[in-house]
Amino acid sequence: SPLPPSLQAMESEISAAFESGEPEDILSSAFKLTVTREDICTLQPLRWLNDRIMNFYMSLLVERSKKEGYPAVYAFNTFFYPKLSSASHRAVRRWTKGVDIFEHDVILVPIHLRIHWTLLVIDVREKTIKYFDSLGQKGDHICKTVLKYLQEESKEKRKIELTVSEWTLHSMGTEEIPQQNNGSDCGVFVCKFADFISRDKPIIFTQEHMPYFRRKMVWEIIHQQLL
């Protein structure tokens, strides 16, 4: 059946974002971030998402969380974890200037492992740190690194000692979360893990949804609005 007019308009807009104009054209600008056509084109099938797309999408999730009925979400950008893991808390202490991350319900940490995107999620309410990898790899050491960061952040910013024994660290198993069956969709998986988690929704999508999610994300980033 033919698409309704509104969907037809969205589809043609998404296609135009990919197909017309110059790579350096700015298609969206918000959250002190700009997204060019070249960035948007990483949302084409089988392309790897780049930092700009990841960070813009995380910012959209944070923005949505300010609405009534959503958990309060904080998201670190993609450059946070490499800096933390290669240096220490001191190297990133300024990143949370004027922010108490512990006042949030959910903290998202997108992680880039050379050629693979994963997601770490801190649930402050439940005192859990969970690692989401759509290729099923374990991230226990990453969870520990971030817990140590939380200890130091709490001590420095709130003068409160975190009770480590109260926290649960867990790498999600392949039977717990959907897995990718190609070498290119990890970034989209990370964005959608974050999307569902930041709404307190069960993660029910699969690899089959990826082409649809990619196109939807194009529209959402251009319009700076989550559907």
We report the CATH number of the domain holding residue 57 as 3.40.395.10
Average pLDDT over residues 94-117: 92
* pLDDT reading at 4 higher than 70: no
**Is 160 within the bounds of a domain?**
yes
Please tell me the predicted confidence (pLDDT) of residue 92. 87
User: Does residue 3 surpass a pLDDT of 70?
Assistant: no
Per the structure, the complete domain to which residue 188 belongs is given by: 10-223
Instruction: Flag whether 41 is in a domain.
Output: yes
What length is written for the chain? 227
Task: Supply the pTM of this predicted model.
Answer: 0.93
In degrees and rounded to multiples of 5, residue 225 shows phi and psi of -155, 130
Mean pLDDT of 83-103: 88
Is 2 among the domain residues? no
> For residue 75, is it within any domain?
yes
Active site residue 186: yes
| Dihedral (CA of 62, 68, 71, 72) sign | positive
What's the token pair of residue 86? Answer: 């290669």
Q: Tokens representing 17?
A: 């974002």
Q: Are strands 106-112 and 73-75 parallel, antiparallel or unpaired?
A: parallel
The domain tally of the chain equals 1
- Asked whether residue 182 carries a pLDDT value surpassing 70, the answer given is yes
| Alpha carbons 75 and 101: distance in angstroms, whole number | 9
Residue 157 lies in a domain: yes
Catalytic residue (one of 133, 143, 191, 195): 133
Q: What is the pLDDT of residue 13?
A: 87
Residue 116 is a catalytic residue? yes
pLDDT band per the 50, 70, 90 thresholds, residue 179: very high
Find the catalytic residue in 39, 104, 186, 191.
186
Q: Would the pLDDT of 87 be above 90?
A: no
Catalytic residue selected from 89, 116, 170, 209: 116
**Helix boundaries (H) for the chain:** 5-19, 37-40, 51-64, 80-86, 89-92, 140-158, 186-197, 210-223
DSSP letters along 84-118, please? HHHS-HHHHGGGGTT--GGGSSEEEEEEE-SS-EE
**pLDDT at residue 5 tops 70:** no
Catalytic residue status for 143: no
User: What is the pLDDT at residue 1?
Assistant: 52
Distances (CA, A) of 188 to 14, 73, 213, 217: 17, 19, 7, 9
Q: Which pairs from 35-39 meet CB under 8 Å and 24+ separation?
A: 35/221
Q: What is the pLDDT of residues 110-147, one digit of tens each?
A: 999 888 999 999 999 999 999 999 999 999 999 999 99
pLDDT tens, residue by residue, 25-45:
998 999 999 999 999 999 999
Q: How far apart are the C-alpha atoms of 44 and 41, rounded to whole Å?
A: 5
Instruction: Find the mean pLDDT for residues 70-89.
Output: 92
The per-residue DSSP string of 160-191 comes to: ----GGG-EEEEPPTTTS---SSSS-HHHHHH
Residue 4 within a domain:
no
Give a yes or no: residue 1 inside a domain: no
Asked if the structure places residue 191 within a domain, the reply is yes
Nearest to 219 by CA among 16, 5, 58, 73: 16
